Structure 1
Amino acid sequence: MNLKLIAVVLCVGFSGTASAGFFDSKEEVQPFKCGREDATVALINALRDAALAKVSVAGSELTQFQNKVLTIPVMPSDITTTEQGKNTVRCVASVSATLPTELKELSVKTPDVFSNFIAESRALYKVDTLRWNNVSYALRLADNEKDISVSLDDISNMPMGLAKTAKLAVSADSIIKNNDPTKINAYKNQYEIEDAKLNKIWKAIPASFRSSMKDEQVSWVWSKQEQCGDISRANNTNLSVSERVGIYQCQTAMTVDRIKYLGGYK
Protein backbone atom coordinates (compact mmCIF):
# COMPACT_ATOMS: atom_id res chain seq x y z
CA MET A 1 0.00 0.00 0.00
CA ASN A 2 1.48 3.33 -0.93
CA LEU A 3 1.96 6.15 1.55
CA LYS A 4 -0.81 8.38 0.11
CA LEU A 5 -3.45 5.66 0.57
CA ILE A 6 -2.36 5.04 4.18
CA ALA A 7 -2.64 8.75 4.94
CA VAL A 8 -6.17 8.95 3.51
CA VAL A 9 -7.35 5.90 5.50
CA LEU A 10 -5.92 7.31 8.74
CA CYS A 11 -7.57 10.71 8.19
CA VAL A 12 -10.96 9.16 7.43
CA GLY A 13 -10.78 6.94 10.48
CA PHE A 14 -9.80 9.76 12.80
CA SER A 15 -12.47 12.07 11.41
CA GLY A 16 -15.19 9.45 11.85
CA THR A 17 -14.20 8.80 15.45
CA ALA A 18 -14.14 12.51 16.33
CA SER A 19 -17.49 13.17 14.65
CA ALA A 20 -19.15 10.29 16.43
CA GLY A 21 -18.05 11.61 19.80
CA PHE A 22 -19.23 15.13 18.98
CA PHE A 23 -22.70 14.30 17.71
CA ASP A 24 -23.42 11.64 20.32
CA SER A 25 -22.77 14.03 23.24
CA LYS A 26 -25.81 15.56 24.98
CA GLU A 27 -26.08 19.05 26.43
CA GLU A 28 -25.50 18.84 30.16
CA VAL A 29 -28.59 19.88 32.17
CA GLN A 30 -27.98 21.44 35.57
CA PRO A 31 -29.85 19.94 38.54
CA PHE A 32 -33.00 21.82 39.53
CA LYS A 33 -31.84 24.08 42.35
CA CYS A 34 -32.67 27.54 43.61
CA GLY A 35 -29.56 29.14 42.14
CA ARG A 36 -30.09 27.88 38.61
CA GLU A 37 -30.32 30.73 36.11
CA ASP A 38 -33.91 30.08 35.01
CA ALA A 39 -34.96 29.72 38.65
CA THR A 40 -33.45 33.12 39.46
CA VAL A 41 -35.27 34.73 36.53
CA ALA A 42 -38.53 33.15 37.71
CA LEU A 43 -37.98 34.59 41.20
CA ILE A 44 -37.40 38.11 39.86
CA ASN A 45 -40.55 37.94 37.74
CA ALA A 46 -42.58 36.66 40.69
CA LEU A 47 -41.34 39.49 42.92
CA ARG A 48 -42.30 42.07 40.31
CA ASP A 49 -45.75 40.51 39.85
CA ALA A 50 -46.32 40.51 43.59
CA ALA A 51 -45.24 44.17 43.83
CA LEU A 52 -47.73 45.18 41.15
CA ALA A 53 -50.54 43.72 43.27
CA LYS A 54 -49.45 45.32 46.55
CA VAL A 55 -50.22 49.00 46.06
CA SER A 56 -53.15 50.81 44.46
CA VAL A 57 -52.37 53.95 42.51
CA ALA A 58 -54.39 56.62 40.72
CA GLY A 59 -55.39 55.76 37.18
CA SER A 60 -53.30 58.61 35.81
CA GLU A 61 -50.18 57.11 37.38
CA LEU A 62 -50.92 53.43 36.78
CA THR A 63 -48.88 52.97 33.61
CA GLN A 64 -45.92 54.85 35.08
CA PHE A 65 -46.11 52.76 38.24
CA GLN A 66 -46.20 49.49 36.29
CA ASN A 67 -43.27 50.52 34.12
CA LYS A 68 -41.27 51.58 37.16
CA VAL A 69 -41.85 48.24 38.91
CA LEU A 70 -40.70 46.41 35.79
CA THR A 71 -37.57 48.52 35.28
CA ILE A 72 -36.14 48.94 38.77
CA PRO A 73 -33.02 46.71 38.83
CA VAL A 74 -33.65 43.69 41.07
CA MET A 75 -30.81 41.30 41.93
CA PRO A 76 -31.06 38.12 44.07
CA SER A 77 -27.89 36.93 45.80
CA ASP A 78 -26.75 34.44 48.43
CA ILE A 79 -29.32 31.99 47.07
CA THR A 80 -29.56 28.81 49.11
CA THR A 81 -31.56 25.62 48.56
CA THR A 82 -32.97 24.57 51.93
CA GLU A 83 -35.11 21.62 50.80
CA GLN A 84 -34.73 19.49 47.68
CA GLY A 85 -37.39 17.34 46.03
CA LYS A 86 -37.64 15.84 42.57
CA ASN A 87 -39.21 18.89 40.93
CA THR A 88 -39.70 21.13 43.97
CA VAL A 89 -37.28 23.12 46.09
CA ARG A 90 -37.47 25.57 48.95
CA CYS A 91 -35.12 28.52 48.89
CA VAL A 92 -33.81 31.51 50.82
CA ALA A 93 -32.11 34.50 49.23
CA SER A 94 -31.16 38.12 49.69
CA VAL A 95 -32.69 40.49 47.17
CA SER A 96 -31.43 43.98 46.32
CA ALA A 97 -33.15 46.79 44.42
CA THR A 98 -31.37 49.85 43.05
CA LEU A 99 -33.22 53.06 43.89
CA PRO A 100 -34.45 55.12 40.91
CA THR A 101 -32.92 58.56 40.38
CA GLU A 102 -36.18 60.18 41.54
CA LEU A 103 -35.65 58.79 45.03
CA LYS A 104 -32.09 60.07 45.13
CA GLU A 105 -33.52 63.54 44.55
CA LEU A 106 -36.07 62.99 47.31
CA SER A 107 -33.31 62.04 49.74
CA VAL A 108 -31.77 65.49 49.20
CA LYS A 109 -34.86 67.70 48.92
CA THR A 110 -37.22 65.91 51.33
CA PRO A 111 -35.02 63.97 53.76
CA ASP A 112 -37.90 63.39 56.21
CA VAL A 113 -40.03 61.73 53.54
CA PHE A 114 -37.08 59.64 52.40
CA SER A 115 -36.21 58.55 55.95
CA ASN A 116 -39.79 57.43 56.57
CA PHE A 117 -39.73 55.48 53.32
CA ILE A 118 -36.52 53.67 54.31
CA ALA A 119 -37.99 52.76 57.70
CA GLU A 120 -41.22 51.46 56.12
CA SER A 121 -39.34 49.41 53.50
CA ARG A 122 -37.92 47.15 56.23
CA ALA A 123 -34.75 46.80 54.23
CA LEU A 124 -31.08 47.58 54.71
CA TYR A 125 -30.14 50.80 52.92
CA LYS A 126 -26.66 51.38 51.56
CA VAL A 127 -25.35 53.44 48.64
CA ASP A 128 -28.68 53.93 46.83
CA THR A 129 -29.60 50.27 47.25
CA LEU A 130 -32.21 48.49 49.37
CA ARG A 131 -31.48 44.93 50.46
CA TRP A 132 -33.93 42.42 51.94
CA ASN A 133 -32.41 39.39 53.61
CA ASN A 134 -34.00 36.01 54.22
CA VAL A 135 -36.53 36.21 51.39
CA SER A 136 -38.03 32.71 51.44
CA TYR A 137 -39.90 31.03 48.61
CA ALA A 138 -40.66 27.71 46.93
CA LEU A 139 -40.09 26.67 43.32
CA ARG A 140 -41.80 23.99 41.29
CA LEU A 141 -40.55 22.73 37.93
CA ALA A 142 -43.30 21.79 35.45
CA ASP A 143 -43.40 18.41 33.73
CA ASN A 144 -42.01 20.00 30.56
CA GLU A 145 -38.90 20.80 32.63
CA LYS A 146 -39.00 24.40 31.42
CA ASP A 147 -41.73 26.35 33.21
CA ILE A 148 -41.10 27.28 36.84
CA SER A 149 -43.75 28.47 39.29
CA VAL A 150 -42.82 30.51 42.36
CA SER A 151 -44.60 30.70 45.71
CA LEU A 152 -43.45 33.60 47.89
CA ASP A 153 -43.83 33.32 51.64
CA ASP A 154 -46.33 35.83 53.02
CA ILE A 155 -43.78 37.23 55.47
CA SER A 156 -41.58 38.55 52.67
CA ASN A 157 -41.32 42.36 52.80
CA MET A 158 -39.58 42.68 49.47
CA PRO A 159 -42.62 42.96 47.12
CA MET A 160 -44.21 45.68 49.26
CA GLY A 161 -40.88 47.49 49.47
CA LEU A 162 -40.49 47.34 45.70
CA ALA A 163 -44.05 48.61 45.21
CA LYS A 164 -43.50 51.55 47.57
CA THR A 165 -40.22 52.36 45.83
CA ALA A 166 -41.99 52.54 42.47
CA LYS A 167 -44.92 54.56 43.80
CA LEU A 168 -42.66 57.06 45.53
CA ALA A 169 -40.59 57.46 42.36
CA VAL A 170 -43.71 58.16 40.29
CA SER A 171 -44.97 60.71 42.84
CA ALA A 172 -41.59 62.33 43.49
CA ASP A 173 -42.28 65.63 41.70
CA SER A 174 -45.54 66.31 43.53
CA ILE A 175 -44.00 65.26 46.86
CA ILE A 176 -41.15 67.71 46.39
CA LYS A 177 -43.59 70.50 45.50
CA ASN A 178 -45.81 69.72 48.49
CA ASN A 179 -42.79 69.80 50.78
CA ASP A 180 -41.51 73.16 49.57
CA PRO A 181 -40.83 75.15 52.80
CA THR A 182 -41.95 78.40 51.15
CA LYS A 183 -45.49 77.00 51.05
CA ILE A 184 -45.82 77.05 54.83
CA ASN A 185 -46.05 80.83 55.12
CA ALA A 186 -48.44 81.06 52.18
CA TYR A 187 -50.91 78.60 53.74
CA LYS A 188 -50.39 80.15 57.17
CA ASN A 189 -51.36 83.57 55.78
CA GLN A 190 -54.49 82.10 54.17
CA TYR A 191 -55.53 80.59 57.49
CA GLU A 192 -54.92 83.80 59.44
CA ILE A 193 -56.98 85.83 56.95
CA GLU A 194 -59.96 83.48 57.22
CA ASP A 195 -59.60 83.17 61.00
CA ALA A 196 -59.71 86.97 61.29
CA LYS A 197 -62.89 87.05 59.16
CA LEU A 198 -64.50 84.43 61.40
CA ASN A 199 -63.66 86.37 64.57
CA LYS A 200 -65.10 89.55 63.04
CA ILE A 201 -68.36 87.82 62.13
CA TRP A 202 -68.58 86.19 65.56
CA LYS A 203 -68.15 89.52 67.35
CA ALA A 204 -70.79 91.11 65.08
CA ILE A 205 -73.40 88.61 66.23
CA PRO A 206 -75.62 90.09 69.01
CA ALA A 207 -74.49 89.09 72.48
CA SER A 208 -77.72 87.23 73.23
CA PHE A 209 -77.27 85.04 70.16
CA ARG A 210 -73.60 84.47 70.88
CA SER A 211 -74.52 83.25 74.34
CA SER A 212 -76.99 80.71 72.97
CA MET A 213 -74.50 79.55 70.33
CA LYS A 214 -71.48 79.32 72.63
CA ASP A 215 -71.70 75.57 73.23
CA GLU A 216 -72.15 74.96 69.51
CA GLN A 217 -69.13 77.14 68.70
CA VAL A 218 -66.95 75.37 71.27
CA SER A 219 -68.05 72.02 69.85
CA TRP A 220 -67.06 73.20 66.37
CA VAL A 221 -63.63 74.31 67.58
CA TRP A 222 -62.97 70.90 69.11
CA SER A 223 -64.24 69.16 65.98
CA LYS A 224 -61.90 71.27 63.83
CA GLN A 225 -58.96 70.45 66.06
CA GLU A 226 -59.79 66.74 66.02
CA GLN A 227 -60.06 66.59 62.23
CA CYS A 228 -57.18 68.90 61.33
CA GLY A 229 -54.85 68.84 64.31
CA ASP A 230 -54.15 71.67 66.69
CA ILE A 231 -53.12 74.81 64.82
CA SER A 232 -50.12 75.15 67.14
CA ARG A 233 -48.71 71.93 65.65
CA ALA A 234 -48.40 73.66 62.29
CA ASN A 235 -45.59 75.71 63.82
CA ASN A 236 -43.73 72.59 64.96
CA THR A 237 -40.54 72.43 62.89
CA ASN A 238 -40.16 68.75 63.75
CA LEU A 239 -43.11 67.97 61.47
CA SER A 240 -42.62 67.62 57.73
CA VAL A 241 -43.61 70.49 55.46
CA SER A 242 -46.52 68.49 54.01
CA GLU A 243 -47.87 67.75 57.51
CA ARG A 244 -47.71 71.42 58.52
CA VAL A 245 -49.27 72.57 55.26
CA GLY A 246 -51.99 69.92 55.67
CA ILE A 247 -52.97 71.33 59.06
CA TYR A 248 -53.26 74.86 57.68
CA GLN A 249 -55.24 73.67 54.64
CA CYS A 250 -57.71 71.70 56.76
CA GLN A 251 -58.11 74.47 59.34
CA THR A 252 -58.67 77.04 56.60
CA ALA A 253 -61.27 74.95 54.77
CA MET A 254 -63.30 74.34 57.95
CA THR A 255 -63.02 78.01 58.92
CA VAL A 256 -64.36 79.09 55.51
CA ASP A 257 -67.31 76.72 55.95
CA ARG A 258 -68.01 78.17 59.40
CA ILE A 259 -67.91 81.72 58.03
CA LYS A 260 -70.56 80.77 55.46
CA TYR A 261 -72.69 79.17 58.18
CA LEU A 262 -72.52 82.08 60.60
CA GLY A 263 -72.92 84.59 57.79
CA GLY A 264 -76.10 82.94 56.64
CA TYR A 265 -74.69 81.82 53.29
CA LYS A 266 -75.81 78.24 53.78
Structure 2
Amino acid sequence: LFYISQGDGQVINNTVTWKQVNYNIQLADNNKDIVVTPVPKTDKLARSIYVMARMTVSGDSIIKKKNNSLIEIAAKKFESRDRELNQVWKSLPASARTALKQEQRVWVTKKEQQCGKLSDAKSEAIPAEKRISIYKCQLEMTIARTAYLDGSE
Protein backbone atom coordinates (compact mmCIF):
# COMPACT_ATOMS: atom_id res chain seq x y z
CA LEU A 1 0.00 0.00 0.00
CA PHE A 2 2.89 2.36 0.66
CA TYR A 3 3.92 2.27 -2.98
CA ILE A 4 0.41 3.13 -4.03
CA SER A 5 -0.79 5.57 -1.37
CA GLN A 6 2.48 7.19 -0.30
CA GLY A 7 4.90 6.31 -3.04
CA ASP A 8 4.55 6.49 -6.79
CA GLY A 9 0.80 6.05 -7.22
CA GLN A 10 -2.62 6.78 -5.86
CA VAL A 11 -5.99 5.09 -5.70
CA ILE A 12 -8.87 7.08 -7.23
CA ASN A 13 -12.27 5.50 -7.82
CA ASN A 14 -10.88 2.02 -7.25
CA THR A 15 -8.25 2.58 -9.94
CA VAL A 16 -4.52 2.77 -9.34
CA THR A 17 -2.94 5.75 -11.08
CA TRP A 18 0.81 6.18 -11.09
CA LYS A 19 2.07 9.71 -10.45
CA GLN A 20 5.24 9.30 -12.46
CA VAL A 21 5.93 7.33 -15.56
CA ASN A 22 9.58 6.81 -16.44
CA TYR A 23 10.94 6.15 -19.92
CA ASN A 24 14.18 4.86 -21.36
CA ILE A 25 15.25 6.81 -24.44
CA GLN A 26 17.86 5.29 -26.73
CA LEU A 27 19.21 5.96 -30.14
CA ALA A 28 17.86 3.41 -32.58
CA ASP A 29 20.10 1.03 -34.51
CA ASN A 30 19.91 3.26 -37.58
CA ASN A 31 21.50 6.08 -35.55
CA LYS A 32 18.74 8.46 -36.75
CA ASP A 33 15.62 7.54 -34.75
CA ILE A 34 15.08 7.32 -31.04
CA VAL A 35 13.33 4.50 -29.24
CA VAL A 36 11.18 5.38 -26.24
CA THR A 37 10.22 2.53 -23.90
CA PRO A 38 8.49 2.92 -20.58
CA VAL A 39 10.29 1.63 -17.52
CA PRO A 40 7.86 -0.87 -16.09
CA LYS A 41 6.56 -0.32 -12.59
CA THR A 42 5.82 -4.00 -12.23
CA ASP A 43 8.25 -4.38 -9.36
CA LYS A 44 6.36 -1.82 -7.27
CA LEU A 45 2.98 -2.96 -8.52
CA ALA A 46 3.80 -6.57 -7.77
CA ARG A 47 5.09 -5.57 -4.34
CA SER A 48 1.89 -3.62 -3.66
CA ILE A 49 -0.30 -6.57 -4.64
CA TYR A 50 1.82 -8.89 -2.54
CA VAL A 51 1.60 -6.61 0.50
CA MET A 52 -2.20 -6.27 0.18
CA ALA A 53 -2.60 -10.05 -0.09
CA ARG A 54 -0.29 -10.59 2.86
CA MET A 55 -2.27 -8.11 4.95
CA THR A 56 -5.41 -10.16 4.32
CA VAL A 57 -3.70 -13.36 5.43
CA SER A 58 -1.97 -11.62 8.31
CA GLY A 59 -5.28 -10.27 9.59
CA ASP A 60 -6.54 -13.79 10.27
CA SER A 61 -3.21 -14.71 11.80
CA ILE A 62 -3.22 -11.66 14.06
CA ILE A 63 -6.75 -12.44 15.28
CA LYS A 64 -5.80 -16.07 15.95
CA LYS A 65 -2.68 -15.04 17.88
CA LYS A 66 -4.67 -12.52 19.93
CA ASN A 67 -7.34 -15.10 20.75
CA ASN A 68 -4.71 -17.68 21.68
CA SER A 69 -3.09 -15.13 23.97
CA LEU A 70 -6.41 -14.35 25.66
CA ILE A 71 -7.12 -18.07 26.09
CA GLU A 72 -3.68 -18.63 27.58
CA ILE A 73 -4.13 -15.76 30.05
CA ALA A 74 -7.58 -17.01 31.10
CA ALA A 75 -6.26 -20.56 31.48
CA LYS A 76 -3.30 -19.46 33.62
CA LYS A 77 -5.54 -17.39 35.90
CA PHE A 78 -7.90 -20.32 36.35
CA GLU A 79 -5.10 -22.85 36.89
CA SER A 80 -3.49 -20.65 39.52
CA ARG A 81 -6.73 -20.32 41.46
CA ASP A 82 -7.48 -24.02 41.01
CA ARG A 83 -4.10 -24.86 42.59
CA GLU A 84 -4.98 -22.51 45.45
CA LEU A 85 -8.32 -24.31 45.92
CA ASN A 86 -6.53 -27.67 45.99
CA GLN A 87 -4.10 -26.35 48.63
CA VAL A 88 -6.99 -25.13 50.77
CA TRP A 89 -8.74 -28.50 50.35
CA LYS A 90 -5.60 -30.40 51.38
CA SER A 91 -5.11 -28.12 54.39
CA LEU A 92 -8.54 -29.04 55.77
CA PRO A 93 -8.58 -31.67 58.50
CA ALA A 94 -9.31 -35.16 57.22
CA SER A 95 -12.63 -35.20 59.07
CA ALA A 96 -13.71 -31.96 57.31
CA ARG A 97 -12.69 -33.32 53.91
CA THR A 98 -14.69 -36.48 54.57
CA ALA A 99 -17.73 -34.47 55.65
CA LEU A 100 -17.46 -32.13 52.62
CA LYS A 101 -16.55 -34.75 49.99
CA GLN A 102 -20.10 -35.26 48.65
CA GLU A 103 -20.78 -31.51 48.70
CA GLN A 104 -17.52 -30.95 46.80
CA ARG A 105 -18.55 -33.50 44.14
CA VAL A 106 -21.91 -31.73 43.72
CA TRP A 107 -20.08 -28.40 43.40
CA VAL A 108 -17.75 -29.78 40.70
CA THR A 109 -20.74 -31.07 38.71
CA LYS A 110 -22.60 -27.78 39.10
CA LYS A 111 -19.53 -25.82 38.01
CA GLU A 112 -19.15 -27.96 34.90
CA GLN A 113 -22.87 -27.60 34.05
CA GLN A 114 -22.87 -23.87 34.63
CA CYS A 115 -19.53 -23.01 33.02
CA GLY A 116 -18.79 -25.77 30.56
CA LYS A 117 -16.18 -28.49 30.56
CA LEU A 118 -12.50 -27.70 30.95
CA SER A 119 -11.83 -30.16 28.14
CA ASP A 120 -13.89 -27.87 25.87
CA ALA A 121 -11.85 -24.88 27.01
CA LYS A 122 -8.72 -26.74 25.93
CA SER A 123 -10.16 -27.83 22.57
CA GLU A 124 -9.21 -25.85 19.47
CA ALA A 125 -12.44 -27.06 17.88
CA ILE A 126 -14.38 -24.74 20.23
CA PRO A 127 -14.54 -21.01 19.31
CA ALA A 128 -12.09 -18.81 21.22
CA GLU A 129 -14.81 -16.69 22.83
CA LYS A 130 -16.49 -19.79 24.27
CA ARG A 131 -13.18 -21.16 25.54
CA ILE A 132 -12.38 -17.88 27.29
CA SER A 133 -15.89 -17.77 28.74
CA ILE A 134 -15.48 -21.28 30.18
CA TYR A 135 -12.21 -20.34 31.87
CA LYS A 136 -13.62 -17.10 33.28
CA CYS A 137 -16.70 -18.83 34.71
CA GLN A 138 -14.59 -21.65 36.15
CA LEU A 139 -12.29 -19.03 37.67
CA GLU A 140 -15.13 -17.12 39.34
CA MET A 141 -16.68 -20.25 40.80
CA THR A 142 -13.29 -21.52 41.98
CA ILE A 143 -12.53 -18.23 43.74
CA ALA A 144 -15.91 -18.37 45.48
CA ARG A 145 -15.43 -22.01 46.49
CA THR A 146 -11.95 -21.31 47.84
CA ALA A 147 -13.34 -18.47 49.97
CA TYR A 148 -16.08 -20.79 51.24
CA LEU A 149 -13.67 -23.56 52.16
CA ASP A 150 -11.08 -21.35 53.86
CA GLY A 151 -13.77 -19.47 55.77
CA SER A 152 -13.02 -16.06 54.23
CA GLU A 153 -16.41 -15.89 52.52
**TM-score (ref. length: structure 2):** 0.57
Given the alignment of the two structures, is residue 210 of structure 1 paired with residue 60 of structure 2, yes or no?
no
Structure 2: unaligned runs, 5 residues or longer: 1-55
1:96-117 deviation line (CA, Å, top 9, x unaligned): xxxxxxxxx9xx549xxxxxxx
Give, in whole Å, the separation in 2 of the partners of 1:217 and 1:225.
Answer: 12
Give, in whole Å, the separation in 1 of the partners of 2:109 and 2:79.
Answer: 18
Cα drift, residue 180 of structure 1: 2.3
Greater RCO structure (CA 8 Å; 6+ sep): 2
AA aligned opposite 2:87: K
Give, in whole Å, the separation in 1 of the partners of 2:68 and 2:80.
Answer: 20
Structure 1: unaligned runs, 5 residues or longer: 1-104, 111-175
Equivalenced residue count is 94
1:129-165 deviation line (CA, Å, top 9, x unaligned): xxxxxxxxxxxxxxxxxxxxxxxxxxxxxxxxxxxxx
Alignment of 1:28-47 (within 5 A): none
Cα drift, residue 195 of structure 1: 0.2
Aligned twin of 1:244:
131
Cα drift, residue 181 of structure 1: 2.0
Q: Pick the structure with more strand per residue.
A: 1
Give, in whole Å, the separation in 1 of the partners of 2:83 and 2:67.
Answer: 26
Q: Pick the structure with more helix per residue.
A: 2
Given the alignment of the two structures, is residue 264 of structure 1 paired with residue 151 of structure 2, yes or no?
yes
Give, in whole Å, the separation in 2 of the partners of 1:181 and 1:201.
Answer: 30
Aligned alpha-carbon RMSD (Å): 2.0
Cα drift, residue 258 of structure 1: 0.3
Cα drift, residue 232 of structure 1: 1.1
Runs of 4+ in 1 over 3 A off after TM superposition: none
Alignment of 1:62-141 (within 5 A): 109=60
1:79-123 deviation line (CA, Å, top 9, x unaligned): xxxxxxxxxxxxxxxxxxxxxxxxxx9xx549xxxxxxxxxxxxx
Aligned twin of 1:195:
82
Cα drift, residue 186 of structure 1: 0.6
Cα drift, residue 240 of structure 1: 1.0
